[in-house]
Chains A and B, each alone.
Chain A
Amino acid sequence: QKEVEQNSGPLSVPEGAIASLNCTYSDRGSQSFFWYRQYSGKSPELIMFIYSNGDKEDGRFTAQLNKASQYVSLLIRDSQPSDSATYLCAVRMDSSYKLIFGSGTRLLVRP
């Protein structure tokens, strides 16, 4: 079992829809959770981080964390074609600050 799992996609949604990206992790002691966006040929850029159960909203983005289910998700409201990218889920599993990344979900937003 991989430490951080994501569906590779592609997840295809129409412009204006809500895109829902999911991530599960194996270590119950995981402390912090991150969503990065990576455009083709570019480096990952941080979208959001969350470390408490519940929802955290930032503009069109909402991160949701459920530690009991070992599940973290990212919702993108009013999806735009410019949101088309690979979304990487990353988990900090211990005090070392090493991040474990999932393989990423490719999102395609159709105009």
Chain B
Amino acid sequence: DGGITQSPKYLFRKEGQNVTLSCEQNLNHDAMYWYRQDPGQGLRLIYYSQIVNDFQKGDIAEGYSVSREKKESFPLTVTSAQKNPTAFYLCASSTLRQGENQPQHFGDGTRLSIL
């Protein structure tokens, strides 16, 4: 079955440590997204990418970095510069079709906590 796989499901970070969250999709989607979900705040866009080797900052990119070396993969690194990283992180993907915004498909998330 096609879908989006996020790993790990739970992740713990020590102070000063960078951690990388994995996101893989086999839907052949062009666009991929990373969101952060905090209670009562909905989803906020961190980074997005519409094509391989290109990505754009979202609304809360500070303290995060991404890469898009392959169409299927869009890993997110939470750096030590992100002072409040505890959150639920969601990856999504969608096709890009001119004139009709397509729904985004979501993975099941990674819950990141600070040790």
Q: Do A and B come from one complex?
A: no
Q: Which residues of A contact B (CB under 8 A)?
A: none
Q: Which residues of B contact A (CB under 8 A)?
A: none
